[in-house]
Chain A
Amino acid sequence: MFKEEVKGLLYIALKDLKMYYFKPPNVSWGIMFPIVITLAFILRNPSDAKDLASGLIAMSILFAATSAEAIVIVFERRTRTFERLLLAPLSLQAILFGKVIGGVIFGFIMSSVFLVGSVIFLGVPFSNTIFLLASLALSVFVFSAFGTLISVAVKEIFDATTLANFFRFPMIFICGVFIPVSALPSFLHPIAYVLPLTYSVDLIRFFITGSYDIVQPTVCVIVLIFYSIVLFYLSVWVLKRRIEQ
């Protein structure tokens, strides 16, 4: 049973990758947007380039993992193709996990491209490759699950994009992507602590620079695992309610 569920969810992920992910709009959101924003900051202060690497990678994860993930289920529910998945002999958890894994694979590839780009073009050093890649994977899972939650919570694609941006844009300015959280006004700190991107940025920063801004790496890992579980099961719960409506 477990083996069949794993196989099923992988087929869902592969189908999503083929149909939705490696398409121009996703590539532009997942690659172009983080590059353009980062370039703007680098041009303003070229000496910051290395410090921006962790933020750039975290931002690429955020946008790559959520851009398609936030609309895939809304789209499939509108075209009734999601019903096809619901009719299959798979649990709801397996179906949604397959959806999340599609986003995880795409997000991981995109963020790896940024990682390699940061090493080549920005001269970013990093020491612990395995831990760094593991932290990318964990972060990608969180944001893919976040995209899934948005996708099951709304009815229209337009609403999904709006809701995703409502969270994404403030996050890139509050969570230490460009400006360390410690350097932000203190009234923004509680918000930064609530948002998962803060922990992704600090964890990636630790494995690139060897130091962190406000949260210890162990705490970052625990918080990101906590967000993964909460966002995934919240998606399952919301979808169950939606289906019964």
Chain B
Amino acid sequence: MGSDFIIDVSDLTKIYRDFPAVNHLNFKVKRGEIFGFLGPNGAGKTTTIKMLTGLIKPTKGTATIQGKDIRTQIVKIKKTIGVVTEDSNLYNELSVFDNLQFVGQLYGVPKSNLKKRIDELLKRFDLESKREAKFAKLSKGMKTKVIIAAALIHSPQVVFLDEPTTGLDVLSARILRALIKELKALGVTIFLTTHYIEEAEQLCDRVAIIVNGTLKTVDTPQNLIARTDSKNLEEAFIEITGLKEEIMLVEKEGKR
């Protein structure tokens, strides 16, 4: 119960037919940290999140979240986690309020608290004026805010954010990053995947780098930069993932 680690991934593997999308992953996430999960496209980041959040089952291995096993106690786990997926998964036809209310109902938020909780979130995300607006009518930035509000409706202890800033304008992305920091200050553990390495460097306490379904390393951004003798996390990422040669090749082609 009092463990420092809130997520413990052990030999986690997902094989689609003969293709290992995620290959024997082992890592731990500390309680209250922002944990970055980085990798090139198709590295297995989303597949890992899908396994940890119960959307798909592992082929082999397992993970525990707050000591509960994803293979056998996933319904209990789902009560304590919030998930923001890559795609918007709220209902276009429903208003912001109705979407949040429906998600709250699914998570069993007591009726007596639900309205108060929705009002709280709308205020915090500066969405009060959009309360009755249809989700479809919102801008991309507003939608992201509503999706995150929905993920927080049941006050989860762990929040999975899968590429949350993709497609957001600069201002919305900044607001979102500030919000992630705010969540951390509240003691929420954040599991974050992002394509923006600079963002991970700014936000994350530790990062894991995954390539072709295999975990390459887990460390703090500072240690990774120092270990690879790089200027920043992006350079370290390129070094660790082995993308350096590919980038040099592309640059060479560009010069011709």
The answer for the CA separation of A245 and B88 in the assembled complex, in Å, is: 21
- Chain A residues in 8 Å Cβ range of B107: 88-89
A44: Cβ under 8 A from any B Cβ: no
Between A and B, how many residue pairs show CB distances below 8 Å? 64
B184: Cβ under 8 A from any A Cβ: no
B89: Cβ under 8 A from any A Cβ: yes
Whether the pair B56, A88 counts as a contact (CB closer than 8 A) is no
- Chain B residues in 8 Å Cβ range of A244: 56-57
Whether the pair B90, A84 counts as a contact (CB closer than 8 A) is yes
Distance to closest chain A CB from B61 (angstroms): 16
- Chain B residues in 8 Å Cβ range of A127: none
Main secondary structure of the interface of A (DSSP, over half): helix
The answer for the CA separation of A245 and B53 in the assembled complex, in Å, is: 17
The answer for the CA separation of A47 and B85 in the assembled complex, in Å, is: 60
Whether the pair A87, B54 counts as a contact (CB closer than 8 A) is yes
A222: Cβ under 8 A from any B Cβ: no
Whether the pair B75, A89 counts as a contact (CB closer than 8 A) is yes
> Which residue in A4, A12, A85 is a CB contact (below 8 Å) of B108?
A4
Whether the pair B102, A11 counts as a contact (CB closer than 8 A) is yes
> Which residue in B55, B57, B93, B102 is a CB contact (below 8 Å) of A87?
B55
Whether the pair B83, A19 counts as a contact (CB closer than 8 A) is no
Size band of the A side of the interface?
Answer: 20 to 34
Whether the pair A80, B78 counts as a contact (CB closer than 8 A) is no
Whether the pair B90, A87 counts as a contact (CB closer than 8 A) is no
**Which residue of chain A has the shortest Cβ distance to B92 in the bound complex?**
A79
Report if A86-B55 is in contact (Cβ < 8 Å); known contacts: A8-B105, A8-B106: yes
Distance to closest chain A CB from B152 (angstroms): 13
B115: Cβ under 8 A from any A Cβ: no
Kindly supply a per-residue 1/0 record for chain B positions 130-156, scoring 1 wherever the CB is within 8 Å of any chain A CB and 0 otherwise: 000000000000000000000000000
Whether the pair A89, B105 counts as a contact (CB closer than 8 A) is no
Distance to closest chain B CB from A133 (angstroms): 29
Whether the pair B91, A19 counts as a contact (CB closer than 8 A) is yes
A83: Cβ under 8 A from any B Cβ: yes
- Chain A residues in 8 Å Cβ range of B78: 87-89
> Which residue in B79, B90, B94 is a CB contact (below 8 Å) of A19?
B94
Q: Which of A85, A89, A91, A245 has the most CB of B within 10 A?
A: A89
Distance to closest chain B CB from A102 (angstroms): 13
B4: Cβ under 8 A from any A Cβ: no
The 3 closest A-B pairs by CB, nearest first: A89-B78, A88-B106, A11-B105
Q: A87-B83, A89-B78, A90-B75 are in contact. List 13 more A-B contacts (CB 8 A).
A: A4-B108, A7-B105, A8-B106, A11-B102, A19-B91, A80-B88, A84-B103, A85-B106, A87-B85, A88-B78, A89-B79, A243-B56, A245-B16
18 A-B contact pairs sorted by A residue (CB < 8 Å): A7-B105, A8-B108, A12-B106, A19-B94, A80-B89, A83-B87, A84-B89, A86-B54, A87-B54, A87-B55, A87-B78, A87-B89, A88-B78, A88-B106, A89-B76, A89-B108, A243-B55, A243-B56
